[in-house]
Amino acid sequence: MMTTSIRTIHIVGIITAVLLGVGLLTATNITPFASASPATTTTTTTTTNQTGNQTGANITTTGGGAGDQATATKQLDQAVKALESGDNAAAEGYMTEADKTLSEGEAKTHLNEAMKALQADDIEGAKTHAQFAQDSLQ
C-alpha cells in the first residue's frame, strides 16, 4: 500500500513538474518544441519574398549604362530591321529615339558609332554597331 501511494505521488510530481515547466516556457515566450514556431517561419518567408521582389523590381538598368533599357532595345531592334530592309531614313529615326533613352555607357557608344556609320553610308558598319549596342543592353 505504501509503495502504490509513493508511485502515485511520484507520477503526480513528474506531471506537475512537466506542466509547470511547459507553462513557464510558454509564459516567457519560449517554445518548448522546435517545430512549434510557425510565426518565425512565416516572418522569414515573408521577409525573403519581399527582399526578392524588391530586388527584382529594382533591376531595370543593366549592362552598358542603359536608361530605359526596354525602349532602347525595341528601338535598336527596329533600326536593325530597317537597315536590313534598306530603309535608312527609318533606321536613323529609330536610332535617334534610342539615343534619347540611353544614358552614357557601352550601348550609347555603339549607338553613336552606328549613327556615324549610317551618315557615312556604311550600312554594314551601322548594322554591326546597332547590334553591338543592342547586345550590350542584354
What cell numbers appear for 61 in the block? 538598368
Can you give the pLDDT at residue 60? Answer: 36
Give me the domain span that covers residue 107: 69-136
Domain-embedded: residue 119: yes
**13 and 37 fall within a common domain:** yes
DSSP per-residue string spanning 37-81: -HHHHHHHHHHHHHHHHHHHHH----SS--SSHHHHHHHHHHHHH
> Are 38 and 77 in a shared domain?
no
Check residue 75 and give its pLDDT: 92
**Does any domain span residue 64?**
no
**Which positions of the chain have pLDDT values less than 70?**
1-7, 17, 20-67
Which contacts qualify for 54-60: CB closer than 8 Å, 24 or more apart? none
Domain count, the chain: 2
Q: Looking at residue 128, what is its pLDDT?
A: 92
Are residues 22 and 49 both part of a single domain? yes
In a domain, 63, yes or no: no
CATH number at residue 107: 1.20.120.660
Are 12 and 50 within one domain? yes
Number of other residues whose CB lies within 10 A of the CB of residue 137: 23
Does the pTM exceed 0.85? Answer: no
- Residue matched to cell numbers 524588391: 54
